[in-house]
Amino acid sequence: MKDITELRAKRFYDKLRKKISKYSGKHSDLILLAPDIFMLLFRLMKDKRVPAKHKGFLAAAIAYFISPIDIIPEALVGPFGYTDDIIIAVMVLNKIINEVSEEAVVENWSGRGNILALIQNILAISHNIIGKKLDVLRKKIGLK
């Protein structure tokens, strides 16, 4: 029998996939990555190679994804609102790549494309997407 948290993660993944599946607006290539990035965060939480300290960052990123209260609220702007969730997740993933294990991130990724390249691309454009709020996001999850 599957773990209840795994079932909840799968349900969130399915709901998120459905919400954004037809999105074709600004940064759609980024937003369409949201469900796979969420699942990557979840899988890394279960990965034994990731130390507890870094699982705290993963938990914060997962909570931010699930929370309706954030800097760019989905309730007001639709799927575009997931951009800040994705950027937080990518900042956490980058921390894990640099401090823990690049392999853990790569091996737990089931989305399209090279996750390492995607992370670097998203980090490079993140300031253009959310501007000065980027520093607020970093502080929210303890990355600054």
Kindly provide the b/e burial profile for residues 98-113, where b requires at least 16 CB atoms within 10 angstroms of the residue's own CB.
eebbeebbeebbeeee
Residue 144 has pLDDT above 70, yes or no: no
What are the tens digits of pLDDT across the range 34-81?
999 999 999 999 999 999 999 999 999 999 988 888 888 888 888 888
User: Where in the chain are the domains?
Assistant: 4-21+29-140
Distance CA 39, CA 70 (A): 19
What are the tens digits of pLDDT across the range 72-110?
888 888 888 899 999 999 999 999 999 999 999 999 999
This prediction's pTM:
0.86
Contact 135, 144 (CB under 8 A): yes
What are the tens digits of pLDDT across the range 116-141?
999 999 999 988 887 777 777 777 77
